């Protein structure tokens, strides 16, 4: 199993990092490192995250890391992270695993 991040998820993480880095660059760096460490668990345990409640699709799941929802799709050979939201935000379908 491999993990891949769509451009939409990469952009989300860059925006989060830039926002936090304005006040605390070291904290932003630590947060991005924790994102990597937590998402690496999906290599061995792709179904460890819960089903995204707004979708109820068993292949669309989320992993909570700190205050963020990592939304991903599980397929035969990949875990595809397609969005990273603040945990209080509802998923409205504006990011989708088929986006580039």
Residue 63, phi then psi, degrees to nearest 5: -120, 125
Question: Considering only the top CATH level, what class is 2-86?
Answer: alpha beta
Residue pair 69/62 in contact by the 8 Å Cβ criterion: yes
For each of the chain's 100 residues, which pLDDT tens digit applies?
A: 899 999 999 999 999 999 999 999 999 999 999 999 999 999 999 999 999 988 888 889 999 998 999 999 999 899 999 999 888 776 666 666 665 4
pLDDT at 70: 95
Read off the tokens for 6.
């769509």
How much is the pTM? 0.85
pLDDT of res. 49? 94
């Amino acid at each position: 199993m491999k993990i891949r991040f769509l451009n939409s998820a990469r952009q989300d993480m860059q925006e989060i990092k830039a926002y936090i880095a304005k006040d605390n660059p070291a904290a932003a760096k630590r947060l991005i490192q924790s994102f990597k460490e937590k998402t690496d668990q999906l290599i061995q345990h792709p179904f460890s995250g819960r089903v995204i409640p707004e979708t109820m699709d068993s292949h669309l799941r989320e992993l909570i890391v700190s205050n963020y929802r990592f939304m991903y799709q599980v397929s035969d050979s990949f875990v595809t992270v397609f969005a990273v939201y603040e945990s209080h935000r509802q998923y409205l379908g504006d990011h989708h695993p088929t986006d580039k």
